[in-house]
Amino acid sequence: MDLNYLYFRHQVSLFMSVNAACELSRAAHLGLVAGYANRIAATMRQPRLELAA
């Protein structure tokens, strides 16, 4: 998955959690923040394909 998309969604979810109207919404958005962070970490651990010169 595209890292830029994951970073964007992570930031949006973080913003939404800070501005949530109630604790239930805040918890839901923080769950998304954690999920996106896990996906970013997993993507970063994947080996990169080397292009032949």
**pLDDT higher than threshold 70 for residue 52:** no
**Residue 26 falls within a domain, yes or no?**
yes
**Residue 36 falls within a domain, yes or no?**
yes
The pLDDT, as a whole number, for residue 38 is: 97
Whole-prediction pTM value? 0.83
Distance (Å, whole) CA 31 – CA 37: 10
**Cα-based distances in Å from 1 to 25, 31, 49, 53:** 26, 19, 14, 25
DSSP string, 7-49: HHHHHHHHHHHHT-SSHHHHHHHHHHHHHHHHHHHHHHHSPPP
How many domains does the chain contain in total? 1
**pLDDT higher than threshold 70 for residue 53:** no
**Residue 16 falls within a domain, yes or no?**
yes
Q: Which domain holds residue 35?
A: 3-45
**Residue 53 falls within a domain, yes or no?**
no
- Per-residue pLDDT reduced to its tens digit, 4-46: 999 999 999 999 999 999 999 999 999 999 999 999 999 999 8
Contacts of 24 (CB under 8 A, 6+ apart): none
